Amino acid sequence: KISVFDHGLLYGDGVFEGIRFYQGRIFKLDRHLARMYESARMLGLKPPLSRDRLRSVILESCRRSGLTDGYLRPLITRGKGDLGLDPRKAPVASVVVICSTISLYGKKHETGLTAVVASLRRTPAACLNPNAKSLNYLNNILAKAEATARGADEAILLDLDANVAEASADNLFVVRKGTLFTPPTRNCLVGITRETLMELAEGHYPVREQDFKLDFLLQSEECLICGTGGSGSVIEV
């Protein structure tokens, strides 16, 4: 049971991962756990379970679910505390593992998505490190809500310097003249699906991490977003 006084619920104080499994095999579980525990370190959050123990809990949750293909969502929250912000008042962290299914875009995943540029900017790293995958996703949620209100499937966020940063919850690539371009991770999460795409492209397509503006994206031949929930989807901007 999770208390209504858990700081994860009250303040978004916690970390999480989204992990896929296919045919009973979990995709890059150890890499996800490494990132999760690094996120916890960035927040000064002490997990109540060792990484190996949480790994065992995740495997058991997957087994008990009876699902062949699905989605795992492990969370570590600050835990039960008082109504103040002080993390010392929530001394024991909580762990939750959700095992379910996820379908973000349906058949549009195959036919292509539409996207708009959000009016708000990506939270800068000087305010909140984007590589701490925290439960605080309000910036992303507002961008997604704006895209939906404007009739689009996705939102593209720019940073404070008007460089393309990412989609609402996914990394982004564009293709120009046979080269893959992706924004640097200064203002976006170091995505595991992003890493995988870059590894797969090695030896086949040049890949460049660099800042680029919206015009550069609009003049590209292709644009795609990638993340655990949505995998890889081509988008129209």
pLDDT in tens, 9-25: 999 999 999 999 999 99
Reported as a pLDDT band with limits 50, 70 and 90, residue 228 is: confident
What pLDDT does residue 105 have? 79
| Whole-number percent of the chain with pLDDT over 90 | 90
Domain shared by 92 and 196, yes or no: no
Q: Is residue 171 over pLDDT 90? A: yes
What pLDDT does residue 29 have? 98
What pLDDT does residue 231 have? 58
CATH number of the domain where residue 180 is located: 3.20.10.10
Q: Which of 77, 100, 123 is the last residue of a domain?
A: 100
CA pair distance 186, 203, nearest whole angstrom:
25
Domain shared by 72 and 164, yes or no: no
For the chain, where are the E strands, in sequence order?
14-16, 19-22, 25-26, 70-77, 94-100, 113-117, 154-158, 164-167, 171-176, 179-182, 207-209, 222-227, 231-236
Q: Which of 46, 67, 100 is the last residue of a domain?
A: 100
What is the count of structural domains for the chain?
Answer: 2
Q: Is residue 233 over pLDDT 90? A: no
Mean pLDDT of 231-236: 60
Structure tokens at 88: 């010392």
Domain shared by 202 and 223, yes or no: yes
What pLDDT does residue 232 have? 56
- If one counts every other C-beta atom within 10 angstroms of the C-beta of residue 78, the result is 27
